[in-house]
A = this chain, B = another copy of it.
Amino acid sequence: MLEAKLWDNPCPFTFRINYLALLYNTPLYGWISDEYGLKRPEYVVLYSLALADGGSARDVSRTSGFPKNTLSRAITQLEKLGLIKPRSKAPGGRRTQALYLSDKGWALIHETRPTFEAQEKRMLKALSEGERQMLFELMSKVVREAHSWADELPFEAINENEEG
């Protein structure tokens, strides 16, 4: 069945995307869970803040796909674990809370992120450096145009060819 999904699939690109995401995420988040007792949404918040400290729950939701209530719970838990700074002393009132990693949170990121990086590197070992750059360019191009297709489904398009 894997062969059919790879080579006989009307959606070869999105299948590859989903399949690679699966092979990448499953072991890594399983490891995070076993080793650090953090669920995926919790670690996602940490990872997100490590890239954009001071971001809000809404930012994480928008960029990760988790609904805001799931993240609300995750953030409460991270605060309880001392992995992010307490929110009470947030400067601008209460709405749109800026979240910051604590030292402990940073330590955890520095300890775990290399494994994520190494796994990504391993995934791309099949490619030469030039190929990796090309792949990065192409994926970036697709992502940059995401706004044009991500909002609604192509219902009107399904019965016509709009491009050759």
Chain A residues within CB distance 8 Å of chain B: 1-2, 4-6, 8-14, 16-28, 31, 48, 51-52, 55, 59-60, 62-65, 113-127, 131, 134-136, 138-146, 148-150, 152-155, 157-159, 163
- The 9 closest A-B CB pairs, nearest first, are A126-B145, A1-B59, A1-B52, A122-B149, A22-B65, A118-B154, A4-B52, A23-B150, A4-B51
Query: Which one of B11, B120, B140 lies within 8 Å of A116 (CB-CB)?
Result: B11
Complex CA–CA separation, A158 to B139 (angstroms): 26
Complex CA–CA separation, A134 to B123 (angstroms): 18
Contact B138 A138 (CB under 8 A): yes
Complex CA–CA separation, A63 to B3 (angstroms): 10
